[in-house]
């Protein structure tokens, strides 16, 4: 469990500790308003190498020195320190930060005899591979293999088609080469099988029949060869067990050759390159010739993706393309058993379809690490409350949401006991205490008219006066005040009665606007971000933090002031 992260003297963070308690291999969302320090959080993780914290001068908190900056990461109650002189974290963890690749670019332009400059927004190139492996030559020869095999070498087939299949070569990662080496170090059971095969007579088909009838059990008993044969079976052009084993013997010999390790690395690179090219192609709606994946440079050669200028690509398109590219790079960097991936506000401007795609890639990324038995803490930084994103579809039992500007739950709020009882089916609480009702009534020993006055005073005497306030009472006060004002706009008793019986504030406002043609202030709808908070009881839910985060916004405060002082 990732217990906490403490950051000192980095960018906009002087000294903060984030108590998180995040489980690995589950998507985690850290929510905080603009200006809180989310980017500083990301900069902290992007500013250390394997040995120490190495901050750019601009990323040192004002009034501090580089030697004062530090990060403390607590995992499973073990503290890891990163500062200007040491890094105990990277011994056991790897980390990677994905953020916006947008930057300002100066472009020169002649104006008569003078050179002028104009600023353009550009998308930074992303280095997908820092060192492209050279493709080694393949020294496989069917004729050489036949010469070594012996008398009945005619039964061997050319397996070059398998060797050239990069997916097949990548699938061999599960094969333990040491087992093959051990077979050759001691009594080699393969030699005994080969000797028997070379004593057979007949055509190729007749010899294969004899192998299938008499020797398959012998092959099966060589564990590593049987494992290899099962992989070969998925790629081979034959389904004959004898041929599959004979092909596997040749593949085993190739795996023990000097060039196999380098060739496997190149195949892995080639497969990954084709994968990212396919992904980018699927999500590229720009059809721009400026969007390229290229091998550049020498010693070492790098794989680079370049993007169109920011003016030729939408924010959402830019974010999903750069996200996919950086996620590919993250997979190359996060290689340890314990890993932290920070994603800094990369999805905030995605449309619904790309937001779903974003979640698909994140979920798949996490599952890949989980299957490998590794821990991945995938942390998304955002100013958006996930509760208000319609297409945020991470499985709720997996999603971990933490509000960085946490204020705790309002355990002392008198609203909480009402919320608990409301879930038990007490409709009068909803009808008289959680919504406006013109009929005076006593519910749960509360007179609803006095209750409204108490809620309104919480707004005017405390919230708008800058004193400590109960955010749940503010939520109800805004809801009831808008409903009361809307109710008083109606003149007909039947309309007023229908208004009271209509469920939910949004539907009540729809009734007076669409059915009765009454205009109401736009801020009534905009303040739905406050009064639409779900006040149905749920154990261990922090109701206050997301609500207080919105209530602390100065524009929201002015809007609420408007409806109470109008």
The predicted model scores a pTM of 0.68
How far apart CA 294 and CA 286 sit, in angstroms, is 18
Percent residues over pLDDT 90 in the chain: 46
**Listed residue (565, 562, 530) closest to 544, CA to CA:** 530
Residue 126, beta-bridge partner list: 305
Instruction: Give Cα separations from 28 to 24, 74, 374, 407, 490 (angstroms).
Output: 9, 16, 17, 19, 47
Residue found under tokens 């930060």: 97
Contacts of 525 (CB under 8 A, 6+ apart): 509
Residue found under tokens 């993250």: 330
How far apart CA 128 and CA 324 sit, in angstroms, is 11
pLDDT score of 127: 81
User: Mean pLDDT of all residues in the chain?
Assistant: 84
Number of other CB atoms surrounding residue 11 within 10 Å: 22
Q: What token pair was written down for 54? A: 């190495």
Range of weakest confidence among 78-82, 119-123, 202-206, 414-418: 119-123
How far apart CA 326 and CA 102 sit, in angstroms, is 13
At 379-436, the pLDDT tens digits run: 999 887 776 555 556 665 578 888 887 554 455 678 888 888 876 555 899 899 999 9
**Listed residue (113, 162, 419, 400) closest to 267, CA to CA:** 162
pLDDT score of 36: 83
Pairing of strands 27-31, 126-129: unpaired
Residue found under tokens 């991936």: 341
Summarize the confidence of residues 467-487 as an average pLDDT.
Answer: 93
Residue found under tokens 């306030």: 469
Pairing of strands 292-296, 302-306: antiparallel
Distance of alpha carbon 320 from its chain centroid, rounded? 12
How far apart CA 79 and CA 99 sit, in angstroms, is 26
How far apart CA 200 and CA 209 sit, in angstroms, is 11
Query: What is the phi-psi region of residue 515: left when phi exceeds 0, alpha when psi lies from -120 to 50, beta otherwise?
Result: alpha
pLDDT score of 187: 47
pLDDT score of 104: 46
C-alpha distance across the termini of the chain, in Å: 50
pLDDT score of 338: 94
At 93-110, the pLDDT tens digits run: 999 998 766 544 544 554
Contacts of 342 (CB under 8 A, 6+ apart): 41, 42, 45, 46, 95, 96, 97, 98, 379, 381
At 209-221, the pLDDT tens digits run: 999 999 999 999 8
How far apart CA 496 and CA 518 sit, in angstroms, is 13
**All structural domains of the chain:** 1-92+336-406 (3.40.50), 142-258 (no CATH), 415-565 (no CATH)
Whether residue 140 is predicted with pLDDT greater than 80 in this model: the reply is: yes
Contacts of 254 (CB under 8 A, 6+ apart): 140, 159, 163, 260
pLDDT score of 102: 52
pLDDT score of 407: 55
Contact 107, 36 (CB under 8 A): no
pLDDT score of 357: 75
């Amino acid at each position: 469990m990732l217990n906490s992260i403490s950051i000192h003297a980095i960018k906009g963070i002087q000294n903060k500790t984030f108590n998180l308690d995040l489980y690995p291999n589950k998507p985690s969302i850290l929510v905080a308003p603009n200006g809180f320090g989310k980017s500083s959080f990301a900069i902290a993780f992007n500013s250390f190498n394997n040995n120490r914290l190495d901050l750019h001068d601009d990323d040192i908190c004002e009034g501090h020195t580089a030697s004062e900056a530090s990060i403390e990461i607590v995992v499973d109650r073990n503290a890891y320190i990163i500062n200007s002189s040491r890094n105990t974290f990277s011994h056991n963890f790897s980390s990677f930060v994905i953020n916006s690749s947008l930057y300002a670019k100066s472009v020169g332009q002649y104006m008569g005899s003078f050179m002028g400059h104009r600023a353009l927004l550009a998308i930074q190139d992303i280095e997908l591979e820092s060192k492209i492996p050279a493709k080694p030559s393949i020294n496989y020869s069917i004729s050489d293999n036949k010469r070594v095999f012996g008398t009945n070498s005619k039964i061997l087939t050319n397996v070059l088609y398998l060797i050239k299949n990069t997916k097949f070569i990548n699938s061999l990662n599960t094969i333990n080469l040491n087992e093959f080496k051990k077979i050759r170090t001691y009594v080699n059971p393969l030699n005994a099988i080969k000797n028997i095969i070379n004593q057979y007579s007949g055509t190729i088909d007749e010899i294969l029949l004899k192998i299938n009838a008499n020797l398959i059990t012998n092959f099966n008993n060589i564990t590593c060869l049987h494992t290899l044969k099962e992989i070969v079976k998925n790629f081979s052009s034959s389904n004959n067990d004898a041929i599959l084993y004979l092909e596997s013997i040749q593949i085993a010999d190739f795996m023990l050759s000097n060039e196999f390790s380098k060739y496997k690395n190149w195949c892995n690179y080639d497969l990954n390159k084709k994968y990212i090219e396919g992904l980018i192609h699927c999500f590229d709606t720009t059809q721009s010739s400026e969007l390229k994946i290229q091998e550049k440079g020498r010693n070492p050669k790098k794989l680079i993706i370049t993007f169109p200028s920011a003016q030729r690509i939408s924010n959402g398109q830019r974010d999903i393309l750069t996200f996919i590219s950086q996620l590919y790079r993250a997979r190359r960097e996060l290689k340890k058993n314990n890993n932290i991936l920070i994603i800094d506000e990369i999805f905030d401007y995605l449309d619904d379809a790309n937001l779903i795609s974003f979640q698909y890639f994140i979920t798949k990324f996490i599952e890949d690490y989980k299957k490998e038995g590794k821990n991945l803490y995938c942390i998304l930084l955002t100013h958006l409350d996930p509760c208000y994103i319609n297409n945020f579809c991470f499985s709720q039992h997996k999603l971990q949401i933490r509000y960085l500007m946490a204020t705790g739950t309002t355990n002392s709020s008198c609203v909480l006991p009402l919320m608990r009882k409301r879930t038990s089916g007490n409709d009068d609480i909803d009808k008289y205490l959680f919504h406006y009702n013109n009929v005076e009534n006593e519910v749960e020993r509360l007179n609803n008219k006095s209750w409204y006055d108490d809620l309104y005073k919480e707004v005017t005497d405390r919230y708008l006066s800058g004193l400590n306030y109960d955010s749940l009472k503010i939520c109800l006060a805004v809801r009831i005040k808008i409903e009361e004002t809307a109710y008083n706009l109606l003149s007909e008793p039947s309309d007023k009665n229908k208004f009271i019986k209509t469920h939910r504030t949004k539907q009540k406002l729809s009734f007076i606007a669409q059915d009765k043609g009454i205009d109401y202030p736009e801020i009534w709808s905009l303040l739905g971000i406050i009064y639409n908070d779900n006040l149905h009881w749920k154990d261990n839910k922090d109701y206050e933090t997301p609500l207080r985060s919105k209530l602390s916004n100065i524009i929201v405060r002015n809007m609420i002031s408007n409806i109470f002082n109008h």
